[in-house]
Amino acid sequence: MSTAIVIGAGVGGLTAAMKLAHAGVKVELYEKSPVPGGRCGRVEVGEFRFDLGPTILLMPFVLQQAFASIGRKLEDHLELQRCDPHYRVHFRDGSRVVLWTDPAKMKAELEQIEPGSYPRYQQFLARGKIQNDAAFEHFITRHFSSVLEFVTPKSVPQMVRVGALSKLWSHVSKYFADDRLRQALSFQTMYLGVSPYDAPAVFALLPYTEAVHGIWFPRGGMHAVPLALAEVRRLEGVALHLGQGVKQVQVENGKAVGVELEDGQVRRADVVLCNADYAWAVKHLLPPALAAPRSAKLSKARFTSSGLMLYLGLSQRVEGLLHHNVFFGRDFKGSFNDIFEKGRVPDDLSFYVNAPSRTAEGFAPEGKDALQVLVPVPPLGGPVDWKAEAGRVRAGVLARLKDEGYGDLEPLIEAEQVLTPDDWQTHHRLERGSNFGLAQNFLQLGPFRPKVSDPDLKNLFWCGASVQPGTGVPTVMISAGFAVDAVLAQLGMARPRERVA
Ligand SMILES: Cc1cc2nc3c(=O)[nH]c(=O)nc-3n(C[C@H](O)[C@H](O)[C@H](O)COP(=O)(O)OP(=O)(O)OC[C@H]3O[C@@H](n4cnc5c(N)ncnc54)[C@H](O)[C@@H]3O)c2cc1C
């Protein structure tokens, strides 16, 4: 029986492990943390519970497909609930817009901001469908081994068609005159940690998929996704070793032959598949002779934003908040410039508040509230003193919530935890504390993004946010599928390519 070691039980590692085991490979999965999930983990503070990172589940059909590929039904392991309204966006001038799937409600919301905008929203969505479908067919569900596969006489017109070569902000500006609607229908690139001024226009597929396929909330929160995957991996017979970190990939004659664990034990296998953050793992898990030159190259790459997180347990329910809430600072464009170009935290913050108790039980005791606040900030590497900055950010968030009429939350705080980019790097092993890994600008997409087969070491494979096709829970599951295909081909167990709808 062929054997595989998977490093890391994030969504990517769990998906890959269950698929490999289903294909007949004996899999050992090593996870340094005591719980599976990685960025999709859980935070517990006193009697309050929070999702660590992701809170927005898009493209549930990708999850369904991943389960179906091994003969299982997602619904048997995970209950999904649709969020409609999606979220409320708060602008600095005091105005607000609520985004809905429901067309009549959406129309009323858009028209109160920009009269006559709804027909153009419909055109924006029609264009979004073309972008979404073409991106899925030609780019997101394809792994590229070389630039020649990517840039072909057939693919170049496709790239122009989907807007891979233009910018999202310019695209959205063609449909809407009011900056507030432009902002509300382009900030979704921050789900990938990229500015809408830098992201290719093809990412209009995000507001499209929200409107058409919906925003979903897994019962139990996003952490329920890795828990469901972990359950299936158990049923498929994968051994999961929690609290057992890998120290280094073992190499003999240019091939990966196993791993050395942090406790010094050595484990051998036919292949090693690494789900730990790519840039972090290259630096820390590869033998130094390989790690140094590759890390030097990666240090010049563009990284996504980090997040300064506040997890607040409150003695009372905050009236008026929806499940998802977005707050934009005064200078929308300037804030992206601060984060991505100047490496500083904007003076007037933009942030996101997740209040899951609106939809589900189990996050806060009856009558109390659990808020996860995500403030996008630069990745590590700039001059920011994060301890000092955390205090300023916390005060800024509380002041803004008060200004917006949600009350003075300070006296209600019973329990809290703060997480800075330093913590993302130190505790969650994300290079530069970057929440989403390598950025997804054109030159870091497709064949320009790390491939699932290691370029130097035979039998070493990768999956996760920084490899093809890119970051985000569903996309990482697609990357696991790419990696499994490559592993099975290497082991002589190739299977037909899966298609994602
Ligand atoms: C704050 C935040 C908000 C986000 N919001 C969203 C959202 O709303 N929707 C969405 O779809 N996506 C969102 N994302 C992105 C999404 O979380 C990631 O793209 C995805 O979860 C990454 O999964 P992964 O499997 O690639 O990596 P990870 O989740 O990072 O998993 C890697 C695993 O490897 C383990 N590991 C590392 N080193 C070792 C070692 N040496 N030995 C053993 N194990 C090791 C880690 O502990 C971890 O469990 C968000 C991310 C963050 C941080």
**Predicted pLDDT of residue 497:** 63
Q: Which residue has the tokens 């829970």?
A: 473
Identify the architecture of domain 305-426 in CATH.
2-Layer Sandwich (3.30)
d(CA 467, CA 183): 28
Tell me which residue has its CA closest to atom 45 in ligand 1: 8
Kindly state if the Cβ of 19 falls inside 6 Å of ligand 1: no
Decide which of 3.20.10.10, 3.40.50.1220, 3.40.1180.10, 3.50.50.60 is the CATH code for 3-38+222-300+439-490.
3.50.50.60
In the three-class reduction of DSSP (H, G, I as helix; E, B as strand; rest coil), residue 494 is classed as: coil
Residues 6+ apart with CB under 8 A from 460: 249, 256, 271, 272, 273, 274, 453, 454
Q: C-alpha dihedral over 481, 487, 490, 492, to 10 degrees?
A: -80
Phi and psi at residue 457, in whole multiples of 5°?
Answer: -110, 120
Q: Ligand 1 mean position to 358 CA, how many Å?
A: 25
* Burial bucket for residue 331 (CB in 10 Å: 0-12, 13-18, 19+): middle
Kindly state if the Cβ of 462 falls inside 6 Å of ligand 1: no
d(CA 39, CA 3): 27
Kindly state if the Cβ of 200 falls inside 6 Å of ligand 1: no
Kindly state if the Cβ of 282 falls inside 6 Å of ligand 1: no
Q: Ligand 1 mean position to 277 CA, how many Å?
A: 8
Token digits of residue 184:
């509300």
Kindly state if the Cβ of 91 falls inside 6 Å of ligand 1: no
| Mutate which of 28, 30, 31, 39 for ligand 1 pocket (most atoms within 8 A of beta carbon) | 39
Kindly state if the Cβ of 472 falls inside 6 Å of ligand 1: yes
Q: Is the peptide bond before 60 cis (omega within 30 degrees of 0)?
A: no
Q: Is the peptide bond before 85 cis (omega within 30 degrees of 0)?
A: yes
Phi and psi at residue 282, in whole multiples of 5°?
Answer: -60, -45
**Predicted pLDDT of residue 159:** 86
Q: Ligand 1 mean position to 47 CA, how many Å?
A: 25
User: Closest ligand 1 atom, CA of 12?
Assistant: 25
**Predicted pLDDT of residue 342:** 94
d(CA 210, CA 202): 14
Token digits of residue 304:
């996504």
d(CA 224, CA 230): 10
Kindly state if the Cβ of 16 falls inside 6 Å of ligand 1: no
Ordered by start, the domain boundaries in the chain are 3-38+222-300+439-490, 103-211, 305-426
Q: Is the dihedral of CA 281, 282, 286, 287 positive or negative?
A: negative
Kindly state if the Cβ of 6 falls inside 6 Å of ligand 1: no
Tell me which residue has its CA closest to atom 22 in ligand 1: 465
**Predicted pLDDT of residue 499:** 59
Kindly state if the Cβ of 9 falls inside 6 Å of ligand 1: yes
Kindly state if the Cβ of 464 falls inside 6 Å of ligand 1: yes
Tell me which residue has its CA closest to atom 15 in ligand 1: 472
**Predicted pLDDT of residue 494:** 81
Q: Ligand 1 mean position to 441 CA, how many Å?
A: 20
Nearest to 369 by CA among 306, 424, 310: 310
User: Closest ligand 1 atom, CA of 480?
Assistant: 25
Token digits of residue 272:
């090693």
Q: Which residue has the tokens 């606040």?
A: 373
Kindly state if the Cβ of 429 falls inside 6 Å of ligand 1: yes
109 contacts 99 by C-beta, under 8 angstroms: yes
* Burial bucket for residue 116 (CB in 10 Å: 0-12, 13-18, 19+): exposed
Q: Which long-range contacts (CB under 8 A, 24 or more apart) does 407-414 make?
A: 407/318, 407/319, 409/312, 409/314, 409/318, 412/314, 412/315, 412/316, 412/369, 413/312, 413/313, 413/314, 413/315, 414/46, 414/48, 414/313, 414/314, 414/315, 414/368
Kindly state if the Cβ of 379 falls inside 6 Å of ligand 1: no
Kindly state if the Cβ of 435 falls inside 6 Å of ligand 1: yes
Kindly state if the Cβ of 30 falls inside 6 Å of ligand 1: yes
Q: Ligand 1 mean position to 29 CA, how many Å?
A: 16
Q: Is the dihedral of CA 145, 147, 153, 158 positive or negative?
A: positive
pTM tops 0.85, yes or no:
yes
d(CA 334, CA 350): 11
Q: Which residue has the tokens 């070569």?
A: 165
d(CA 65, CA 79): 15
User: Closest ligand 1 atom, CA of 437?
Assistant: 19
Identical fold, 3-38+222-300+439-490 and 305-426: no
Q: Ligand 1 mean position to 472 CA, how many Å?
A: 9
**Predicted pLDDT of residue 496:** 61
**Predicted pLDDT of residue 154:** 85
Token digits of residue 474:
């569903």
Amino acid at 57: L
Q: What is the pLDDT along the chain (501 residues), one digit of tens a residue?
A: 999 999 999 999 999 999 999 999 999 999 999 999 999 999 999 999 999 999 999 999 999 999 999 999 999 999 999 999 999 999 999 999 999 999 999 999 999 999 999 999 999 999 999 999 999 988 899 999 999 998 888 888 888 888 888 999 999 999 999 999 999 999 999 999 999 999 999 999 999 999 999 999 999 999 999 999 999 999 999 999 999 999 999 999 999 999 999 999 999 999 999 999 999 999 999 999 999 999 999 999 999 999 999 999 999 999 999 999 999 999 999 999 999 999 999 999 999 999 999 999 999 999 999 999 999 999 999 889 999 999 999 999 999 999 999 999 999 999 999 999 999 999 999 999 999 999 988 889 999 999 999 999 999 999 999 999 999 999 999 999 999 999 999 999 987 666 565
Phi and psi at residue 415, in whole multiples of 5°?
Answer: -150, 140
Residues 6+ apart with CB under 8 A from 56: 191, 215, 324
**Predicted pLDDT of residue 498:** 62
Q: Ligand 1 mean position to 40 CA, how many Å?
A: 6
**Predicted pLDDT of residue 441:** 85
Nearest to 167 by CA among 442, 357, 399: 442
Q: Ligand 1 mean position to 10 CA, how many Å?
A: 6
d(CA 27, CA 85): 41
